Amino acid sequence: MVEVHVSAPVGVVSQVTGERWIPVIGLEVHCQLKTWTKLFCGCRNEFGAPPNSRTCPVCTAQPGALPVLNREALELALRAALALEAVVARQSKFDRKNYFYCDLPKGYQISQFDQPYCQGGGITLASGKRVRLTRIHLEEDAGKAIHDRGATTLVDLNRAGVPLIESVTEADLQSSQEAYEYLTALKQILQYVGASDCDMEKGSLRCDVNISVHKPGEPWRTKVELKNLNSFRNVEAAIEYEIRRQVEAYESGDPSQRVVQETRLFDAAQGVTRSMRRKEDAHDYRYFPEPDLPPITISEAVLERARSSLPELPAARRTRYAATFGLSAYDVGVLTADRAVSEFFEIVARLSNRPKEAANWIANEVLRHMGDATLGIHSIDELPFRPHDLALLIGLVEAGTISGQAGRTVVRAMFETGKGPKELVQSLGLEQINDVAALEQWCREALVGKDKIIADVKAGKVKAAGALVGPVMKASKGSANPQVVQEILLRLIAEMP
């Protein structure tokens, strides 16, 4: 495989020939909408149900069954379009996309072809680069074919008819890193507006990549489609492999390695792409208007209702947090990655009146414990305590009632018991000790045998006393006030002959 490396300003450089190659990348992202029922029938849109238990005559294509558009799906699709700054068409229509596969019971998919419900829009990356959207269209999902049973293929039609929006970008991306950043931003926006949970493990978000490479000044060359990538990391890895594969093919001059228009799958275990089938063109699908569904007409009142329902989006929220709360770029990114976390933070910041401390406790403690599999808490909505409890804990720490170390112990206990911080501080005996007599005794014990530290402090190295604070905190079971401990240690050392 030809070695290539990213090189400014754009493209990759072959380490074999030294030539620059420019990747051209576009993404097609399929996102399941978070509706109660399917797109054209009343079956539940539910992941994980027993196979073929969420089906009816419409989504299994029984003769005479007619589709009826789900209003909720249209409303969520409109919210997504407006959040992505797309232009919503006042009238659009559905079409039949014809192809034959075992998980498509009708022999066609109801989708949108030449009149999608919106066009344009895009996402601006951190670099300022704009990734443009060509279109977003509504369509139904296919069922699921399971091929891992030897010679037998099983089909589960629970997913057939689930509402999707497919967003198609222009070929504006030029690296795997840009693709990753774009997908992360897209996922955040769709989650913020409530259009989808974007859970890739459940297939709610799936990505296809169109990619080609060419030399500077040349026309674009043959593009290849990478199909059904199910994680952002796989998208990155597949793009990087495919760039290397295409560069090698062109530089080798070997006719057997000729780059052809085809669909390829990514083998994550091997880190390679493999040919699946020759890529179809639009005419291969024999699109024609869906005769059983009327055109979609969008009024200004419907659009205004969708606009008014939009929350503050991630980019705007990041800007506000940095400007209003003085938070670092890292903290802003962590707090706005998930809408529920962001809203939890806002409540804690308001109740405690200490936004920076709220950000630190959420980022460093709450989210850390949520990543602990033994606790079984995977989202902020599952927390056994309220924002009020965390705000109260922050107040106890800032008032000196408990130490920061004791506060971290309380957070863990709040996760495990759901009890409030005041109750836990009392039951665990964590209230901070400011009794000078008790602290002085622990400090004297900590000084025993520490002649080197005592000498350093007397020589002006005051920070050396910090090594003695830990033993005092341990002796007090975390209840000593570390600031008072530091002061007592320095005083005792100064009094020594």
Closest CA to 446 of 478, 485, 403, 402: 485
Residues of the chain with CATH 1.10.10.410: 436-495
The β-bridge partners of 273 are 266
Of the candidates 45, 235, 108, 81, the residue with the CA atom closest to the CA atom of residue 165: 81
Round to whole Å and give the CA distance between 480 and 404: 11
pLDDT of residue 128: 94
- Between the alpha carbon of residue 365 and those of residues 234, 275, 372, 409, the distances in Å are 29, 46, 11, 10
**Peptide bond just before 355 cis, omega within 30 deg:** no
Concatenated DSSP letters of 332-379 = HHHHHSSHHHHHHHHHHHHHHT-HHHHHHHIIIIIHHHHT-GGGT--S
Residues in the chain predicted with pLDDT less than 50, given as ranges, are: 2, 6-9
- How many residues are recorded in the chain? 497
DSSP 256-299: GG---SEEEEEETTTTEEEEEEEPPPGGGG--EE-TTSPPEE--
User: Which amino acid is it at 202?
Assistant: K
Strands, sheet with 288-289, edge to edge from the N-terminal-most edge strand: 108-111, 95-98, 288-289
Indicate the DSSP class of residue 322. Answer: H
Q: How many other C-beta atoms can be found within 10 angstroms of the C-beta atom of residue 321?
A: 24
CB-based contact 394:352 (threshold 8 Å): yes
CA dihedral 198, 29, 193, 54 (to 10 degrees): -50
Task: Compute CA distances 91 → 71, 115, 419, 480, 496, whole Å.
Answer: 15, 8, 54, 69, 88
Is the bond preceding 482 in cis, omega lying within 30 degrees of 0? no
d(CA 39, CA 112) in angstroms, rounded, equals 13
pLDDT of residue 422: 94
Helix, strand or coil for residue 54?
A: coil
**pLDDT value at residue 8:** 41
Which are the contacts of 61, defined by CB distance < 8 A and separation ≥ 6? 105, 106, 107
Contact 97, 166 (CB under 8 A): no
DSSP state of 5: E
Q: What are phi and psi of 416, to 5 degrees?
A: -80, -30
Residue 213's DSSP bridge partners are 23
Q: Are 335 and 327 in contact (CB under 8 A)?
A: yes
CATH of 436-495 given 1.10.3720.10, 3.40.50.10170, 2.60.410.10, 1.10.10.410 = 1.10.10.410
**Whole-angstrom distance, CA of residue 85 vs CA of residue 77:** 12
Per-residue pLDDT, 270? 93
Question: 261 in the Ramachandran plot: left (φ > 0), alpha (ψ -120 to 50) or beta?
Answer: beta
Q: Do residues 162 and 45 make contact, with C-beta atoms less than 8 angstroms apart?
A: yes
Cα atoms found within 13 Å of the Cα of residue 323, Cβ hemisphere only: 6
Q: Rounded distance, CA 412 to CA 169, Å?
A: 44
pLDDT at 476: 80
Structural tokens at position 194: 């409530």
Q: Is the Cβ–Cβ distance between 293 and 67 less than 8 Å?
A: yes
Residues 21-32 pLDDT 10s: 999 999 999 999
User: CA–CA separation, 412 vs 421, rounded Å?
Assistant: 10
Average pLDDT for the chain:
92
| Cα dihedral 210→215→217→222 (10° resolution) | -40
The CB density around residue 251, as the number of other CB atoms within 10 Å, is 15
- Tell me if residue 437 falls in helix, strand or coil: helix
* Joined tokens for residue 187: 């996922």
Quick one: pLDDT at residue 283? 65
